[in-house]
Amino acid sequence: ETGVTQTPRHLVMGMTNKKSLKCEQHLGHNAMYWYKQSAKKPLELMFVYNFKEQTENNSVPSRFSPECPNSSHLFLHLHTLQPEDSALYLCASSQVSAKVGETQYFGPGTRLLVL
Amino acid sequence: AQSVTQLDSQVPVFEEAPVELRCNYSSSVSVYLFWYVQYPNQGLQLLLKYLSGSTLVKGINGFEAEFNKSQTSFHLRKPSVHISDTAEYFCAVSVKTSYDKVIFGPGTSLSVIP
């Protein structure tokens, strides 16, 4: 596989469930991101990891817990979510360098529905 | 603080007609500008970006954008659209911090009418 992959593509969960989203990048990048995309709203950056270290937590509720075991894999652990958390969750990766304006490469997203 | 405005939330256009999607930004520092496209049921992919140099930037699929510093704009254009251009288009600015922090606009939905 190439690029950025995400599993599952669709997920329905109850508010008491625990689930995890997985992202894998095959591009040799060293930065990974989680975004939330809700209808009629701009993309919201949730978390950023550089070389497996979290460098940004954009005031995300603790019911979302990220994990980055290595530069190629990123997880988003979900527990006790609310219906308003229903959205498309996008993973992205990029190369960290001294250059500016690095392109971010996105996965296809996980469509999450919380009942 | 940096921000991005896309004034048109929806743009319908007939096939083979020209289109312009508008983007304005605000920033107190040097910015780097992007246009990303999101086709249905897919993630975002880069159309083009401006880092420096020529203010007219050419991207994939026949799109181009012009950076206008005085008007703080980065409008996207295509002289003749195709049905396959139907998608959501996002303008974004990037600011260098410890990583490339990218701020996205709210998006413009382009619908190409046959």
Looking at residues A85-109, what average pLDDT do you find?
88
State how far the Cα of B33 lies from the Cα of B109, in Å rounded to an integer.
Answer: 19
Least CA distance to B40: which residue of chain A?
A108
CA distances from B77 to A38, B49, B93 (A): 26, 13, 18
* Contact residues on chain A for B101, CB-CB shorter than 8 A: 45, 56
Lowest mean pLDDT among A107-111, B50-54, B90-94: B50-54
Half-sphere exposure at residue A112, Cβ-oriented, CA atoms within 13 angstroms: 33
User: Residue A59: what pLDDT?
Assistant: 86
High-pLDDT (> 90) share of chain A, %: 72
Looking at residues B90-95, what average pLDDT do you find?
90
Burial bucket for residue A55 (CB in 10 Å: 0-12, 13-18, 19+): middle
Query: Which tokens belong to B88?
Result: 């959501």
For the stretch A70-84, pLDDT in tens is 989 999 999 999 999
State how far the Cα of A67 lies from the Cα of A47, in Å rounded to an integer.
Answer: 10
State how far the Cα of A78 lies from the Cα of B91, in Å rounded to an integer.
Answer: 29
pLDDT, mean over chain A: 91
Instruction: DSSP letter for B85, please.
Output: G
The SS3 call for residue A15 is coil
For the stretch A44-58, pLDDT in tens is 999 999 887 887 777
Query: Which tokens belong to A111?
Result: 């469509």
Nearest alpha carbon to residue B42 among A108, A96, A3: A108
Is A60's Cβ below 8 Å from some Cβ in B?
no
Compare CB distances from B100 to A42, A94, A107 and report the shortest one's residue: A94
User: Residue B98: what pLDDT?
Assistant: 66
Q: Which residues contact B56 (CB under 8 A, 6 or more apart)?
A: B64, B65, B66, B67
- Give the number of beta-carbon pairs within 8 Å between A and B: 61
Is a pLDDT exceeding 80 seen at residue B3? Answer: yes
